Amino acid sequence: MMMRWKMSYLWIGIWLIFLIVGMQTSWFDALSNKGFQIIHHEYYRLITGLFLHVNLLHFAVNALAISYLDIYIDQRIKAGTLFFISLLGGTIAHIIFSLIYPESTSVGGSPVIFSLLGFILIMRSILPKFHFRSLYGKWIIVYVIFAQIPFFSNNISTFVIHFISFIIGMLLAYLYRQFKGVKL
């Protein structure tokens, strides 16, 4: 039996490469998402900011969160589709966030994760029942709560980027359902 790849493997692989190379170079400064006041037409940062993490703990928490989301989804939706939706959701969230906070810096995979959470909320009719007492359920709940604490900023920007990502994920799920003909 051939093993299917999971969306989380791709994200974790990209994050790990950027983390390792970033420790040896100045990638962090060159690739982090910045607000539109300081981005200077370097629009690739809207995507590459999703690949960077502040430190090993930041990476590990996001890697665990996306792994547990993948366990929950359990290949009900194709990995390539989920990767594209999460990349698109995170990128759109970065665009909106950069307009709201034009002088900010934003890095990390949490916009990817929160866009997937919003997507899952709308797609729940084709997904298994969410079990709060399961390992993935507990981890996702703890992640959602603790991800709102502004460890790297002194304002509500952490909550704002996560909220935007969540709403974008919901909108992408609605569009996906319309495109695929899945009933709400």
Rounded CA gap, 103 and 127, in Å? 39
User: Does the structure show a pLDDT above 70 at 71?
Assistant: yes
What three-state secondary structure class fits 25? coil
- With CA atoms as reference, report the closest residue to 140 among 91, 79, 70, 92: 70
Domain ranges of the chain: 8-180
* Spatial distance between the Cα atoms of 53 and 108, rounded to a whole number of angstroms: 5
Burial 148-166 (b: 16+ CB within 10 A, else e): eeeeeeeeebbebbbbbbb
Give the pLDDT of residue 2: 45
Q: Is the pLDDT of residue 21 over 60?
A: yes
The model's pTM is 0.88
Q: How many residues does the chain have?
A: 184
What's the pLDDT score for residue 173?
Answer: 95
Q: Return the residue matching tokens 């319309």.
A: 178
Highest mean pLDDT of the ranges 61-75, 98-112, 165-179:
165-179
CATH value of 8-180 in 3.20.20.70, 3.40.50.720, 1.10.240.10, 1.20.1540.10: 1.20.1540.10
End-to-end CA distance of the chain: 33
Across residues 2-7, what is the average pLDDT? Answer: 66
**pLDDT for res 1:** 41
Q: Grade residue 37 by pLDDT with cuts at 50, 70 and 90.
A: low
- Per DSSP, 154 falls in state S
